[in-house]
Structure 1
Amino acid sequence: MTQAVTKSKQYISKNAGCYQIQGKRVSLDSIVYLFRQGASPESIVAALPTLSLEEVYGSIAFYLGNQEIIDAYLDEGIEIFQQLQKQARDTNAELYQQISSTPAPEG
């Protein structure tokens, strides 16, 4: 018995400038960071149980096929985070000073 090949699936969508797994609230960033750290697709599914193994493999394939673009996107996100972090520290210098000078609880 011959089965028809299914059409290529779309695993990634871009919403409001962010890459997400199609139909899920999981960012591509989450998968890529785990993948870069050497996590297998099976361990990524264990860490992100709302995803199927197929979705993880599809996401990794998307990343590898668009690696230059996605790496630039991730680098930009890191830069934005660092700018916001610096701005928060500059705006709330006293609070950050108090937090850093408070001894950690013993446990």
Structure 2
Amino acid sequence: MESLPVNSYVELRNGGYYVAGTRIGLDVIVHEFESGKSPESILEDYPPIGTLAKMYGVLTFILQNPGAVAEYLEDQDRLWEEIKQQYPMPPEMLKRIQRARELSRKPS
């Protein structure tokens, strides 16, 4: 993976990229932005980011490093798939989740 440069808006911690000073992963911001959310809306949903200037700084970082960010996201997706394979959800828990979803879809 191509190493991403870090700046005052994005930091590398424990092998992952985060909005500086928060526990918000860079992947979260990318997905929110790509889904069409405005910077203001993302900031409302993730107040630990702090300021709109910082939000724009993170987005600038993402837009200035499209190839490296895409590669990082692919690596994260691969890692997540490996984790799901190594630690599958117990069947009983899966049944409980499916039942809860069914109940939430029923009209009141």
Give the number of aligned pairs.
94
Whether the 8 Å CA contact 1:14–1:20 is kept in 2: the answer is yes
Structure with greater helix share of residues: 2
Give the number of the structure with larger relative contact order, counting CA–CA contacts within 8 Å between residues 6 or more apart: 2
Unmatched 5+ residue regions in structure 2? 1-6
CA offsets 1:18-55 (integer angstroms, 9 cap, x no match): 11122222221221110011110000011101221111
Q: Cα distance, 1:14 vs. partner?
A: 1.0
Which residue is 2:20 aligned to? 22
Which residue is 2:99 aligned to? 104
Query: How far apart, in 1, do the equivalents of 2:43 and 2:56 lie?
Result: 10
The answer to whether residue 82 in structure 2 is matched with residue 83 in structure 1 is: yes
Task: State which structure, 1 or 2, has the greater radius of gyration over its C-alpha atoms.
Answer: 1
2:85 counterpart SS class:
helix
The answer to whether residue 5 in structure 2 is matched with residue 10 in structure 1 is: no
Among the aligned pairs, what percent are the same residue? 28
Q: Cα distance, 1:100 vs. partner?
A: 4.5
1:104 counterpart SS class:
helix
Q: State the TM-score, normalizing by the size of structure 1.
A: 0.75
Which residue is 1:73 aligned to? 72
Matches within 5 A, 1:38-77: 38-51=36-49, 52-77=51-76
Q: Cα distance, 1:13 vs. partner?
A: 1.2
2:60 counterpart SS class:
helix
RMSD of the alignment, in Å? 2.1
Unmatched 5+ residue regions in structure 1? 1-8
